[in-house]
A and B are shown apart, each in its own frame.
Chain A
């Protein structure tokens, strides 16, 4: 059994995956960096020009310089606007494009991943890898990388400007600045784990909500409203407490981030003020110091954020790429063989199967189905019926032994050809949130409508379709009509019939159908599947009786094999399963 839960990648392999995605956007990256450089230069030019205005035109008294200086500032501001817009827009587009690419890659991979993968991972986890987990990557690659480079440019630029004005004062003022980046980083580092805890607590709360809503009848029937309320209340309080813990850290750090630059400005105010009194620093230069220091606060904060964002992004990406890189689809043959024409035989040879964890589910099953034969697989809950049936469309490969369809090992067939010929109906079938019509056609979109109607008649869909608001054009699912379990089973049955597969695998397909309907189905099903090879499992004798022959699965092996009537008389495993039901008649 291949590994479907690979460990997260380490940093370098993650970056090796991430880099090509980033490089794909090289035009936008180049554009963003050029604009960032221009933006930085212009952003530094404006305070310098204001300094000159103050020193030359206002304090210096040469008023003729006032208008040219101010005009230049306006022109530069207009240019900065254009560059700033282009930089923001292009970097945002990088992130969005990478997000879409990565999500597309994940989805394509999901379509290829084997069943074992979905057995192992909860639906919520699989979904969030392709949605929420991608956001840090988007913001890091899109905004983070360019902003980090821009921050460094701004820091270097401002340092050059300030040092050229007054090196000593720059040194004093700069003392308070690095802690801004450090503090931001420490803050993000501390707050992030808590925000994860908050998310987890919210998850608990959602669970309590789910249970109360889905189990409302139980809650009300036993009059236990107060208990679920207090359970919910406790969890809501836990969310509040954690959110407050997060707010506590925010409250300690964020106002402090405003205080640190104040210290730098106070230093400029005092030491710069003394220089100004001594005449070694002009008022304009003094103002330049304060303005530029304030202008550096955001780039410094941004650096702290980006470092943390980068860690989260690589962590998220390392998980996604581990899936993309390590989980393989079921191996397909290089030169696939093809199925013969006409009805197909099914043959299981000494099939062993286990899910990788726990004991063996099937330990040496031998089974032969003639073309067009209907065989029922019986057995108690947990006997391995579903595992056996799932081998036919090759959702799993046997750990030992072979499954032959039409005389060919299923591993030697193209997956699409095999699955196109084997239709599976499960006990809890999944219908898609599209029109009933499209659900029926999902196995063979080009099917003749008359065929669909015939299948619906045979599968008992026709019996309830008139009760639906728009007949076959009714929207199914959360946003449309919720069908009952029995109705869903019947739709799935019809869907399999429409697909015109030559092999039909029915895994307890009528468990949720009421008995009257089941009797009807048992009668219509046989002619509808004529010429197809059918493997069916079921809990009720009435379901089993649709078959030509029954086999009983026990302890991973087939222990009985014969006509249902004969098996009843045998008084063995089959009688244990269905005896009372038959004798009651």
Chain B
């Protein structure tokens, strides 16, 4: 017992809240299950009656009545069984659906801080494999659990009602039965957990080799990988063999205990028949009921492992559900209304953990103005941009738009007026048009086409048969970085944002594509306030003010000409930007 994890209850108890509002249906289905579980028990009672009062009494009418009743009960159990199965599945799947939606909604409302702390793969596993484990239990497991435990209870009650003395005799195998079952639960829980770990390791190694096959083959590391894999594969085999040995022992053992109980019941029954206190039909019915006790016991034991896995899954799911939403709307926060575009950062300090990464940055961009942030990576440029989009709140100081602190307005109303273009633009699966429409789903086809044309996406799509309706998959594979970037810029344009944030939007792109994108910026920036983070001078040049950000401080600010004129970090950066340090090319 002490090897058993104690979180079974706490893990699954959270599911209890999802039964609220479904309690009536659950109670109803339990009653139905109880009725259908009682059917096979009643069947054996009828067989007993047919023997004693039909055959032994040589009463054909009674026998016929018993047969009709037997079929009627079987048919009723069939219909009720079907209904129970459907209802339970319906309730279970509804719960899974609610849980999935809740989990996803909560997840999408968490701040970037959460996503930067947790690995994407970990989060995705919570929403997929963990919920699936729960779904399995709620789907087949719930039915197995309810029907089998009801059958078990009904058979035990039936046995005692039939003849309590036989019931007591049958109980002799209860103590060893409990011991064996407990032993199996404990050891198999550990064994099957081990199997899961081992197969996960095998799969992980496979996944890594397959995605890194180019490197494995390039370095001729096949043999090392082969032996590493062989080791994991063998460990998985050994672990499986052990787990199978346990269940190979358990189920025959329960069968054996059943045989002992049967022998005990026959022995006691024979004595009672001899003394005239028992009819032979009752004895045969009692033997039948013993079978009804042992079969559910086996199925329930198999279910136990599933429940354990589901409970572990629920515990992990809970860590996501319990993650704190640190960027939320203040109670009754108003919408910001149409943004004019006066952006101001006032002495902003920010830290991801304990150490501040932004040390009192102040920026003032007038309506329609453009500010550029330059500096080495890791200096705090992107963090500053994220503070403007309120992905984080400043530790000290404030970020205001049109004089309103971002913490005082509805987040959604702010973000709907922002346009963000990132270095590695993310495309969702769907058509290119869907991706452009992402920022403003209600846009008409004409508006999408216009935005695509203004940015030059139509030149990209010309090579596809479907044009803008070309379907992109898996994060935009099949499109070059430059092409994806153009689409993400068209997306920002169509959203018609009041404030634009371009975070190294052109760093990853060949020069001809970049020229296209630079031209697209002319269209995009017109009449909007913008914050540009860039490496290239050509991109930075268009800004009204350039800020050099180093190690969380603004170390230099001014327009391009002024900054180039003075000795300082900008000049050094400008040299690197062109990749022409000492050597004079032209």
Contact = CB atoms under 8 A, between A and B. Distances in A.
Contacts of B413: 223
Contacts of A382: 480
A269 to B, nearest CB: 5
Nearest to B246: A89
Interface string B43-75: 100010011001110101001101100110011
Q: Which of B86, B199, B291, B538 has the most CB of A within 10 A?
A: B86
Interface string A427-456: 001111100000000110100000000000
A243 B82 contact: no
Interface stretch (B154-162, B357-365, B421-429, B444-452): B421-429
Interface string A444-483: 0100000000000000000000000000000001100010
Interface string B213-237: 1111111111011100110011011
B107 interface: yes
B93 A58 contact: no
Contacts of A530: none
Contacts of B429: 207, 211
Contact of B58 (A118, A221, A277): A277
B63 A426 contact: no
- Say which size band chain B's interface belongs to: 35 or more
Contacts of A12: none
B112 A205 contact: no
Contact of A221 (B56, B78, B420, B512): B420
B219 A255 contact: no
Nearest to A256: B78
A163 interface: no
B508 A213 contact: no
Contacts of A416: 220
B82 to A, nearest CB: 5
A247 B139 contact: yes
Interface string A478-503: 10001000100000000000010000
Which of A80, A115, A127 lies at the interface centre, i.e. has the most chain B CB atoms within 10 A of its CB? Answer: A127
Contacts of B58: 277
A75 to B, nearest CB: 10
A222 B420 contact: yes
B63 to A, nearest CB: 5
A227 interface: yes
Contacts of B253: 81, 85
A236 B579 contact: no
B585 A222 contact: no
Chief secondary structure at chain A's binding surface: helix
Nearest to B93: A240
B283 interface: yes
B139 A215 contact: no
Nearest to B508: A511
A442 B221 contact: yes
A584 B578 CA distance: 7
Contacts of A393: 217-218
B86 A248 contact: yes
B458 interface: no
B464 interface: no
A50 B291 CA distance: 14
Contact of B108 (A225, A286, A543): A225
A568 B209 contact: no
Nearest to A254: B85
Nearest to A228: B108
A429 B215 contact: yes
A576 interface: yes
Interface stretch (A179-187, A318-326, A340-348, A417-425): A417-425
B82 A255 contact: yes
A210 B204 CA distance: 18
Contact of A222 (B82, B241, B262, B415): B415
A478 B108 contact: no
Given A58-B270, A100-B234, A232-B101, A258 B89 contact: no
Contact of A240 (B97, B414, B508): B97
Interface in A236-294: 236-237, 239-240, 243-244, 247-248, 250-252, 254-256, 258-259, 262-263, 265-266, 269-270, 273-274, 276-277, 283, 286-287, 290, 294
A564 B585 contact: yes
B222 A112 contact: yes
Nearest to A511: B508
B543 to A, nearest CB: 16
Nearest to A445: B224
A219 B108 contact: yes
Interface string A40-67: 0000001000100110011101010011
Given A212-B107, A255-B82, 20 more contacts: A70-B267, A85-B252, A96-B241, A104-B229, A110-B213, A111-B226, A115-B217, A216-B112, A218-B422, A225-B108, A237-B97, A251-B82, A255-B79, A259-B77, A277-B58, A415-B220, A423-B218, A430-B211, A477-B208, A545-B580
17 contacts: A77-B259, A100-B234, A210-B120, A227-B438, A250-B85, A255-B79, A259-B74, A265-B70, A266-B70, A269-B50, A270-B63, A290-B288, A419-B217, A424-B214, A430-B212, A499-B219, A539-B508
Chain A to chain B: the 7 pairs with minimum beta-carbon distance, closest first? A542-B579, A255-B81, A247-B89, A77-B259, A223-B415, A262-B74, A88-B248
